[in-house]
Amino acid sequence: MQTHLLGCPRIGSNRELKKACELYWAGKASLQQLLETGEAISQNNWKIQQEAGIDLIPCNDFSYYDQVLDMTLSVGAIPERYKGIASEESYSELDLYFAMARGYQNNGLDITAMEMTKWFDTNYHYIVPEFRKNQQFTLFSDKIIREFIRARQSGINAKPVIIGLITYLLLGKEKEEGFDKLDLAQNLLPVYIEILKELERHGAEYIQFDEPFLALDLNEKAKETYKYIYGEIRKHFPDFKLIITTYFEGLKDNLSLASSLPADILHIDLVRCPEQLDNVLQAIPSTLSLSLGVVDGRNIWKNNFEKSLQWIKKASEELGPERVFIAPSCSLLHVPFDLDSETHEEVLSPEIKQWMAFAKQKIGEIAVLKKLASGNQDYHTLQLLAENRKALENRKISTLIHHQKVKDRASVTTEADAQRNNPFSIRKEIQQKALQLPLFPTTTIGSFPQTKEVRNWRAKFKKGELTAGHYDELLKKETEKTIRWQEKTGIDVLVHGEFERNDMVEYFGEQLSGFAFTQNGWVQSYGSRCVKPPVIYGDVHRPHPMTVYWSAYAQSLTSKWVKGMLTGPVTILQWSFVRDDQPRSLTCKQIALAIRDEVTDLEKAGIRIIQIDEPAIREGLPLRKSDWQIYLKWAVEAFRISASGVEDATQIHTHMCYSEFNDIIQNIADMDADVITIECSRSQMELLNAFADFKYPNEIGPGVYDIHSPRVPSKEEMVELLNKAQAVIPAQQLWVNPDCGLKTRHWDETEKALIAMVEAAREASREYVKREKLKNHRL
């Protein structure tokens, strides 16, 4: 029996990589310094694994920005627009690499970055390869080989980790018409072979090919390409021990394909899909070993040793222990580095901490599992097993986690709780009477600029350098200023600005029961950006109102409507580490009920328009299409539970960004929000087509300008976009708003943009009235 890892976190124990990269980008650190930081991080990862006794240790799992971009550079898939940089003497390979990741504005050049998108269903973002018809590839960067040599020199039994050829192609995007990216497999294969030859020459024995697409829906062509490519690789390298890894889903209908590939070891994710074990054990040929992903690489909970041991035992009995590998379910990139750096008991209580394991602890778990499974049970190991049992037992019965009232409430919610009193057609009229909004009402998405001062106040307040009273006063002034400015500018539906919030999930998590936070639980989101997701460990409820104070205060300042602002249950769930001892759908329902209480309290406090943001609803979609409807059913229901406690006259908004809506438009309509605001400006209203084709019944605010850019849009271009929108959506259904919250923008650009936006709405309205008159006249 052997142990291995698919990959390690690479930001360093203290986010060293983030700091080093940012200093380097700012010109404040040398290339040498950056490289030293990077090398120290992988050295440290190797050392931890070596000391834990892991048998096969990954190399090339480290990356300065993104492992897909690394591969793009390795195979020379460098888009044309960077060729100028590539040929410049003074630029290192890493400079070219960062230019591709982040764009390049220098020396009169202005080159856009490559696109970035989510890595499967994680919150990690990769850089999307760009492909052209007949694209040629060449071995451009020898990073993979360098990393292997470095690991070997450090005395590591290193296993190079490479993104499998098919997965690499499937992750990319065709940048011109008339070809299929899989057609490029032929051209790409020789470069893979070249890399493998170099690795062989330097003494590599094992190669790990990550092929997560093998666990997803595949068409015939992809399946054929899999067979062909791995057949070719095997022909060239009869002696390599090839590991093919799959994760985030089960092999399911691809099982016979996966087990027939000429590999030596197949890795499966038993955390996501435990039920596949039996089928896999039956299907794999005697030439294939099995790597069992038993330790959760996507979550922060301690492994259940007994459960894992059952799986390991079953596999050993069927295959013989020599054909069994023990591993985390996927790369540990998606969990924080080290639980031992959580030292403040006021932040993370010891009781909750004892249920958790970060990357370093998970490495330890893998090593212990091997000892336990191979009967090598010294006193210390047995003690660890007993401790593991005890922690799990304690979690099962902890009063921190379990609240009978919350469970009972969730278990008796019915269809009726997820229904407004009347359908939208009736609500619309009642709301129109109550709210008296003009045609093309203007609003914003919630946050206003979080200036340095605002951030400073919060930091000082948290450190105890500012009293609660003083902090409150400062935020009130900022809120009032924002309300006055919106009034003066003529915006129809105001917001309070969200100055009291740091992060849209953290803010609610901190006030809800059942959530814990960490000091150092950072996970890479993209490049140097890291996030620190809250941990949902127990039954969720709302001990007290969360936003009523700020919304009511803002509403008291003005006779215009102020929109209440909440984060929706699905987004809170999606952006947290979620408890694994009950279905996600149930946790989501508990959050929904807590938000529902907040919504009704806002209504009681006189707030007549309430927005429940759900930017993450689409990214929660399961990886297999056949599972979509089950997810969408409970996700949409959770939203509706949160939104349906109010009177017909109260208007519910929702907001979503970065979404392809086409394939889930029916479900978005099923959410039954009175108004939805969406991101649209970057696609020039193209996204709106989905709503138009579908005849979306409720009101829509397609974003008329891109808040991700400091650029101030002109009134004319926004009028133009509103005209485009009216071509497909009736004017009576349209709202006018930016495409997301404004918190990352500066005040001066925000002011200019919103003034222009209000003018654009007025002009669109005048033009509309004129057109209607003309029409009536003709009639």
Give least dist CB 683 to ligand GLN, A.
Answer: 17
State yes or no: 123 annotated in a binding site: yes
Q: What is the sign of the dihedral through the CA atoms of 306, 308, 311 and 315?
A: negative
Q: Which does 523 bind (CB under 5 to 8 A by kind): Zn ion, ligand GLN, none?
A: none
State yes or no: 613 annotated in a binding site: yes
x/- mask, ligand GLN, residues 722-741, rule CB under 6 A, reads: ------------------xx
Choose between 446 and 701: whose C-beta lies nearer to ligand GLN. Answer: 446
Token pair in block for residue 477: 């002034």
DSSP secondary structure code for residue 703 in this structure: B
Choose between 527 and 615: whose C-beta lies nearer to Zn ion. Answer: 615
Give least dist CB 660 to Zn ion, A.
Answer: 15
Residue 166, SS3? helix
Given 57, 504, 641, 688, the residue binding ligand GLN (CB under 6 A): 504
Token pair in block for residue 563: 């929109």
Which positions lie near Zn ion, rule CB under 5 A? 615, 657, 740
Does residue 125 carry a catalytic annotation? no
Residue bearing tokens 């009995």? 317
Choose between 498 and 637: whose C-beta lies nearer to ligand GLN. Answer: 498
Choose between 565 and 761: whose C-beta lies nearer to ligand GLN. Answer: 565
DSSP secondary structure code for residue 302 in this structure: P
Q: Which does 277 bind (CB under 5 to 8 A by kind): ligand GLN, Zn ion, none?
A: none
Region 593-622 residues binding ligand GLN, contact defined as CB under 6 A: 613, 615
Binding segment for ligand GLN among 152-160, 239-247, 443-451, 476-484 (CB under 6 A)?
A: 443-451
Give least dist CB 656 to Zn ion, A.
Answer: 7
Instruction: Please say whether the beta carbons of 73 and 140 come within 8 A.
Output: yes
The Cα–Cα gap between 49 and 52 comes to 5
User: Which CA distances in Å does 538 have to 307, 335, 403, 407, 584?
Assistant: 22, 19, 8, 11, 12
652 sits near ligand GLN (criterion: CB under 6 A):
no
State yes or no: 575 annotated in a binding site: yes
Closest CA to 650 of 701, 688, 598: 598
Closest-by-Cβ residue to ligand GLN is 741
Given 445, 466, 572, 599, the residue binding ligand GLN (CB under 6 A): 445
State yes or no: 428 annotated in a binding site: no
The Cα–Cα gap between 61 and 161 comes to 6
The Cα–Cα gap between 443 and 94 comes to 43
Given 446, 509, 564, 645, the residue binding ligand GLN (CB under 6 A): 446
Choice among 4, 708, 746, 777 that is catalytic: 708
Binding-site size for ligand GLN (CB under 6 A) equals 13
Token pair in block for residue 77: 């898939």
Amino acid at 172: G
Residue bearing tokens 């269809």? 415
State yes or no: 395 annotated in a binding site: no
Given 535, 562, 565, 668, the residue binding ligand GLN (CB under 6 A): 565
Q: Which does 11 bind (CB under 5 to 8 A by kind): ligand GLN, Zn ion, none?
A: none
Give least dist CB 564 to ligand GLN, A.
Answer: 11
**For helices 548-556 and 468-489, angle between their N-to-C axes, nearest 10 degrees:** 50
Q: Which does 446 bind (CB under 5 to 8 A by kind): Zn ion, ligand GLN, none?
A: ligand GLN
State yes or no: 657 annotated in a binding site: yes
State yes or no: 607 annotated in a binding site: no
Give least dist CB 549 to Zn ion, A.
Answer: 24
211 sits near ligand GLN (criterion: CB under 6 A):
no
Element (H, E) at 144: helix 143-153
Choose between 495 and 593: whose C-beta lies nearer to ligand GLN. Answer: 495
The Cα–Cα gap between 473 and 611 comes to 25
Give least dist CB 239 to ligand GLN, A.
Answer: 51
State yes or no: 446 annotated in a binding site: yes
Closest CA to 736 of 685, 770, 775, 693: 685
Binding segment for ligand GLN among 236-244, 444-452, 636-644, 760-768 (CB under 6 A)?
A: 444-452
Q: Which does 504 bind (CB under 5 to 8 A by kind): Zn ion, ligand GLN, none?
A: ligand GLN
DSSP string, 617-662: TTTT--SSGGGHHHHHHHHHHHHHHHHTTS-TTSEEEEEE-S---G
Token pair in block for residue 708: 């991700």
Q: Which does 528 bind (CB under 5 to 8 A by kind): Zn ion, ligand GLN, none?
A: none
State yes or no: 252 annotated in a binding site: no
579 sits near ligand GLN (criterion: CB under 6 A):
no
Residue bearing tokens 């740091």? 502
Binding segment for ligand GLN among 60-68, 439-447, 643-651, 713-721 (CB under 6 A)?
A: 439-447
The Cα–Cα gap between 216 and 209 comes to 16
The Cα–Cα gap between 182 and 172 comes to 10
Q: Which does 646 bind (CB under 5 to 8 A by kind): Zn ion, ligand GLN, none?
A: none
DSSP secondary structure code for residue 734 in this structure: B
Q: Long-range contacts of range 182-188, CB-CB < 8 Å, 24 or more positions apart?
A: 182/221, 182/222, 182/225, 184/131, 184/135, 184/137, 185/225, 185/228, 185/229, 187/134, 187/135, 187/136, 187/137, 188/75, 188/137
State yes or no: 717 annotated in a binding site: no
Cβ neighbours around 752 below 10 Å, total: 13
User: Which CA distances in Å does 414 have to 365, 417, 421, 640?
Assistant: 42, 5, 14, 11
State yes or no: 15 annotated in a binding site: yes
State yes or no: 177 annotated in a binding site: no
265 forms beta bridges with: 243, 289
743 sits near ligand GLN (criterion: CB under 6 A):
yes
Token pair in block for residue 408: 């009972």
Token pair in block for residue 430: 């009642």
Residues contributing to the annotated binding site for L-homocysteine: 445-447, 498, 613
Residues contributing to the annotated binding site for 5-methyltetrahydropteroyltri-L-glutamate: 15-18, 118, 123, 529-530, 575, 619
Residues contributing to the annotated binding site for Zn(2+): 655, 657, 670, 679, 740
Residues contributing to the annotated binding site: 15-18, 118, 123, 445-447, 498, 529-530, 575, 613, 619, 655, 657, 670, 679, 740
Instruction: Give the footprint of ligand GLN on this chain (CB under 6 A).
Output: 445-447, 498, 504, 565, 613, 615, 655, 657, 740-741, 743
For the annotated catalytic residues, the residue numbers are: 708
